[in-house]
Structure 1
Amino acid sequence: MAEHFHVNTPLLECMGMSKRLGTTVYLKMENSQPSGSFKIRGIGHLCQQLARQSKGVVCSSGGNAGVATAYVARKMGVPSTIIIPSSSPQLVVQRLQDEGATVKIVGKVWDDANAEALRLAEAEGLTYIPPFDHPLLWQGHASVITEVAASLGPGVKPGAVLVSVGGGGLLCGVIQGLKNVAWMDVPVVAMETVGADSFNAAVKAGTLVTLDDITSEAKCLGAKTVCKQAFEYSQSSELNIISELVTDQQALQAVQTFLDEERVLVEMACGAALAAVYSGLIGRLQDEGRLPTLLGPLVVIVCGGSSINMEQLSSLKHKLHI
Structure 2
Amino acid sequence: MATNSLPDPRPAFVPPVTIDDIRAAHARISDQIVRTPTFISRTLSELTGATVYLKFENLQFTAAYKERGALNTLLQLPAGTPGVIAASAGNHAQGLAYHAHRLGIPATIVMPTNTPTVKVTQTEGHRATVVLHGDTFDAAYAHARELETERGLTFVHPFDDIRVIAGQGTVAIEMLADVPAIDMLITPIGGGGLISGMATVARAADKAIEVIGVEAELFPSMYNRINGTNMPCAGDTLAEGIAVKEPGGITSTMVAELVDDIVLVSERSLEEAVSLLLQIEKTVVEGAGAAGLAALLQHPERFRGKTVGVVLCGGNIDTRLLANVLLRDLARSGRLARLRIRLQDQPGALFNVARIFDQQRVNIIEIYHQRVFTTLPAKGLITDIECETRDRAHLDRLMTALNEAGYEASPVELA
What's the TM-score, normalizing by structure 1?
0.85
How much has 1:144 moved relative to structure 2? 1.1
Larger RCO of the pair (alpha carbons < 8 Å, separation 6+)? 1
How much has 1:65 moved relative to structure 2? 0.4
AA at the equivalent of 1:261: I
User: 1:20-31 counterparts in 2 under 5 A?
Assistant: 20-31=47-58
1:221 corresponds to 2:248: no
Aligned-partner SS, 2:203: helix
Aligned-partner SS, 1:69: helix
Q: Hey, what does 2:166 align to over in structure 1?
A: 139
What's the TM-score, normalizing by structure 2?
0.67
CA contact (8 A) 1:60 1:66 kept: yes
How much has 1:19 moved relative to structure 2? 1.0
How much has 1:76 moved relative to structure 2? 0.6
Residue by residue over 1:228-287, the C-alpha shift from the partner in whole angstroms, topping out at 9 and shown as x without a partner, is 233223433xx45211111222212211121111111111111222211233x1x2325x
Aligned CA distance change for structure 1 residues 2 and 175 (closer, same or farther; 3 Å): closer
Question: Structure 1 residues 98-107 or 160-169, which shifts more?
Answer: 98-107
Cα distance in 2, alignment partners of residues 294 and 260 from structure 1: 24
1:266 corresponds to 2:285: yes
Q: Hey, what does 1:79 align to over in structure 2?
A: 106
Aligned CA distance change for structure 1 residues 240 and 213 (closer, same or farther; 3 Å): closer
Aligned-partner SS, 2:81: coil
Aligned CA distance change for structure 1 residues 143 and 233 (closer, same or farther; 3 Å): same
Aligned-partner SS, 1:6: coil
State which of 220, 227, 238 in structure 2 corresponds to 1:197: 220
1:284 corresponds to 2:311: no
AA at the equivalent of 1:253: E
Residue by residue over 1:66-122, the C-alpha shift from the partner in whole angstroms, topping out at 9 and shown as x without a partner, is 000000111011121111234543321121111111222333443322111111111
State which of 230, 234, 257 in structure 1 corresponds to 2:251: 230
State which of 23, 32, 52 in structure 2 corresponds to 1:5: 32
Cα distance in 2, alignment partners of residues 70 and 254 from structure 1: 29
Q: Hey, what does 2:202 align to over in structure 1?
A: 178
Aligned-partner SS, 1:12: strand
AA at the equivalent of 2:156: I
Aligned length: 304
AA at the equivalent of 2:181: K
AA at the equivalent of 2:193: G
Question: Structure 1 residues 31-40 or 223-232, which shifts more?
Answer: 223-232
- CA-atom RMSD, angstroms? 2.6
Structure 2 runs not aligned, ≥5 long: 1-27, 330-413
Aligned CA distance change for structure 1 residues 103 and 51 (closer, same or farther; 3 Å): farther
Q: Of the two, which has the highest radius of gyration?
A: 2
AA at the equivalent of 2:215: E
State which of 166, 189, 193 in structure 2 corresponds to 1:169: 193
State which of 149, 159, 162 in structure 1 corresponds to 2:183: 159
CA contact (8 A) 2:100 2:107 kept: yes
Cα distance in 2, alignment partners of residues 120 and 182 from structure 1: 45
Structure 1 runs not aligned, ≥5 long: 287-292
Aligned-partner SS, 1:235: helix
Cα distance in 2, alignment partners of residues 135 and 210 from structure 1: 28
Aligned-partner SS, 1:157: coil
Aligned CA distance change for structure 1 residues 262 and 294 (closer, same or farther; 3 Å): closer
CA contact (8 A) 1:87 1:219 kept: no
Percent identity of paired positions between Structure 1 and Structure 2? 27
State which of 247, 250, 253 in structure 1 corresponds to 2:266: 247
